[in-house]
């Protein structure tokens, strides 16, 4: 009765999810919230260290500590980890971890008489890791684009224009601003490959799904682009592990985890991927044309496609799917759950009160609108600053509905470049537990919204990757059919409201465009 462990090192938590292939069900799901356990030690809020001026980092050592605590929690909950045949994982995409020359020996030599924290504390050339929320690399983005022949050239090469949060611009800033630390860096890992390296006890390759979120990978060959690496930093090609097939095992789990937590010696470690590509798999999007919505720290809308299709406006991303066959079109909005939480907290509401307001207010919000840029936004690319139209700041009900309608409408209008006729949405993330929020998205998109048993599709996708790497004879479709069926009620659109939203969407587009023009003019 083989079981498979999927890990998700996300922005705010470390999650472990175990699936049983015989029972075709999730048998365990545990999560370690970073703020709850590590806020005092690391000075974090919402899982991250916000240093101002757009600089937002995480702590690799904190992720290591949370991994250890998670495994303890799984054991204490009664899970027999000797049943785990393979483990894979998901890491918050775009984050970079900088290791010095001692990392290889430290990973290989892990002993059970000390914690991971104590044994790995000295392996970093940079104690913190810039993550996807970091918006401090605008200059580096422009420099990389210019070096490869312009924005269009980088888009054609990597599938993406230069994004501030992507790994390449972050590496370039480190190279420029901290040359001494860069000089003693022996390896640059992604969050995903770093966490896999800890489990395997050796440096693990990057998979193409996460590699495509760096501005450094040739989207068609699924290999690092020498041109992009040279445009980013001197000697970068020597610091990055190769890209490997997602289902090709990196090796067996290190004996540290065998002796301390009860894994078996032959438990395989598969390359980890990014949270977005793992969510694609975890929501069953293994065939072209399928679409899903993740309502998490950031909100993302994504779909599976055969060939890479690019956004000429640079408002979307294209990644490789972890199936190493298809591609993933994605659009990411920074102001996801943090914007919803900001409105909730501003008006001293709990989620029950927030939801009741959504239930009792009218669709369209009587023309009251918000641009919910509580933090710098990616799509559209604008600085922080909430903008209201016909909406007073002290209008509690109006602001609650306005933030949700803005998020739903923005996901609708900015995903049209994908060229996908969205007939249904598979939904995940913490926000997917709220039926009233899902009603707004169903009515705006005019299609049914399907909820899943777990709100952590990234961890589930990681577990499914582990299955594929261990049971190579299984097809992705058969794996997805076993674990990626909707559970619970489907939210259907209210057709009269869908017609009403046509006018609301048009008004919102005009409102957003006016604001973007003003921001562009002022800069």
State residue 468's pLDDT score. Answer: 96
- Classify the C-alpha dihedral 449-451-455-458 as positive or negative: negative
Residue 338 lies in a domain: yes
Residue 473 lies in a domain: no
> What is the total count of domains within the chain?
2
If asked whether residues 81 and 216 sit together in one domain, one would say: yes
pLDDT band for position 315 (50/70/90)? confident
Cβ burial of 502 (10 Å; 0-12, 13-18, 19+) is exposed
State pLDDT tens for residues 238-275.
Answer: 999 999 999 999 999 999 999 999 999 999 999 999 99
If asked whether residues 105 and 215 sit together in one domain, one would say: yes
State residue 42's pLDDT score. Answer: 97
If asked whether residues 265 and 293 sit together in one domain, one would say: no
If asked whether residues 213 and 298 sit together in one domain, one would say: no
If asked whether residues 226 and 290 sit together in one domain, one would say: no
**Residue 405's domain spans which residues?**
284-451+493-523
Q: Compute how many other C-beta atoms are within 10 angstroms of the C-beta atom of residue 258.
A: 18
| 473, 474, 475, 476: CA torsion to nearest 10 | -130
State pLDDT tens for residues 205-226.
Answer: 999 999 999 999 999 999 999 9
Do residues 87 and 270 make contact, with C-beta atoms less than 8 angstroms apart? Answer: yes
If asked whether residues 514 and 386 sit together in one domain, one would say: yes
If asked whether residues 122 and 89 sit together in one domain, one would say: yes
Token readout for 471 is 């049971």
Q: Compute how many other C-beta atoms are within 10 angstroms of the C-beta atom of residue 275.
A: 37
Residue 468 lies in a domain: no
| Contacting residues for 42 by C-beta, under 8 A, at least 6 apart | 34, 49, 59, 62
- Residue of 345, 214, 311, 322 lying closest to 272 (CA atoms): 322
Report cis status (omega within 30 of 0) of the bond before 259.
no
If asked whether residues 263 and 296 sit together in one domain, one would say: no
In angstroms, the CA 130 to CA 170 distance is 7
If asked whether residues 266 and 391 sit together in one domain, one would say: no
Q: Compute how many other C-beta atoms are within 10 angstroms of the C-beta atom of residue 116.
A: 21
Residue 475 lies in a domain: no
**How much is the average pLDDT of 397-418?**
95
State pLDDT tens for residues 140-186.
Answer: 999 999 999 999 999 999 999 999 999 999 999 999 999 999 999 99
pTM for the model = 0.84
If asked whether residues 357 and 405 sit together in one domain, one would say: yes
Task: Please report, rounded to a whole number, the percentage of residues in the chain having pLDDT higher than 70.
Answer: 99
pLDDT band for position 313 (50/70/90)? confident
CATH of the domain at 151: 3.30.420.40
Q: What are residue 421's phi and psi, to 5 degrees? A: -80, 100
């Amino acid at each position: 009765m083989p079981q498979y462990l999927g890990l998700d090192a996300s922005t705010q938590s470390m999650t472990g999810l175990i699936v049983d292939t015989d029972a075709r069900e999730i048998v365990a799901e545990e999560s370690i919230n970073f703020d709850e356990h590590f806020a005092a030690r690391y000075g974090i809020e919402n899982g991250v260290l916000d240093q101002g001026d757009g600089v937002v980092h995480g702590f690799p050592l904190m992720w290591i500590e949370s991994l250890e605590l998670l495994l303890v929690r799984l054991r204490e909950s009664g899970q027999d980890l000797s049943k785990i045949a393979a483990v894979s994982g998901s890491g918050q995409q775009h984050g970079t971890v900088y290791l010095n020359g001692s990392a290889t020996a430290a990973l290989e030599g892990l002993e059970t008489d000390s914690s991971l924290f104590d044994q790995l504390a000295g392996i970093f050339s940079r104690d913190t890791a810039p993550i996807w929320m970091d918006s401090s690399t605008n200059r580096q983005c422009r420099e990389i684009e210019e070096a490869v022949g312009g924005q269009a050239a980088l888009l054609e090469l990597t599938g993406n224009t230069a994004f501030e949060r992507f790994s390449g611009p972050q590496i370039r800033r480190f190279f420029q601003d901290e040359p001494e630390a860069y000089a003693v860096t022996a390896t640059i890992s992604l969050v995903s490959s770093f966490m896999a390296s800890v489990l395997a006890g050796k440096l693990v390759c990057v998979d193409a799904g996460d590699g495509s979120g760096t501005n450094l990978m040739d989207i068609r060959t699924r290999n690092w682009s020498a041109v992009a690496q040279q445009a980013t930093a001197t000697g970068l090609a020597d610091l990055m592990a190769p890209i490997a097939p997602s289902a090709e095992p990196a090796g067996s789990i290190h004996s540290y985890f065998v002796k301390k937590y009860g894994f078996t010696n032959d438990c395989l470690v598969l390359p980890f991927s990014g949270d977005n590509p793992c969510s694609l798999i975890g929501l069953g999007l293994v065939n072209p044309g399928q679409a899903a919505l993740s309502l998490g720290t950031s909100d993302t809308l994504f779909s599976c496609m055969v060939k890479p299709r690019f956004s000429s406006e640079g408002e979307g991303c294209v990644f490789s799917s972890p199936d190493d066959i298809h591609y993933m079109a994605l659009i990411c909005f920074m102001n996801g759950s943090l914007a919803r939480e900001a409105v909730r907290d501003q008006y001293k509401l709990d989620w029950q009160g927030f939801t009741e307001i959504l239930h009792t207010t009218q669709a369209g919000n009587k023309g009251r609108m918000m641009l919910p840029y509580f933090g710098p936004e990616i799509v559209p690319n604008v600085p922080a600053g909430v903008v209201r139209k016909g909406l007073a700041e002290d209008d509690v009900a109006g602001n609650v509905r306005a933030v949700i309608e803005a998020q739903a409408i923005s996901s609708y209008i900015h995903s049209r470049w994908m060229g996908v006729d969205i007939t249904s949405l598979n939904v995940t993330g913490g926000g997917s537990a709220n039926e009233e929020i899902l009603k707004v998205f169903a009515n705006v998109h005019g299609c049914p919204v399907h909820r899943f048993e777990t709100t952590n599709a990234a961890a589930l996708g990681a577990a499914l990757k582990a299955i594929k790497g261990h049971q190579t004879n299984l097809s992705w479709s058969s794996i997805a059919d076993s674990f990626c069926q909707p559970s619970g009620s489907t939210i259907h659109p209210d057709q009269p409201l869908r017609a009403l939203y046509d006018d609301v969407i048009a008004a919102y587009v005009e409102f957003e465009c006016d604001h973007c023009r003003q921001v562009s003019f002022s800069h």
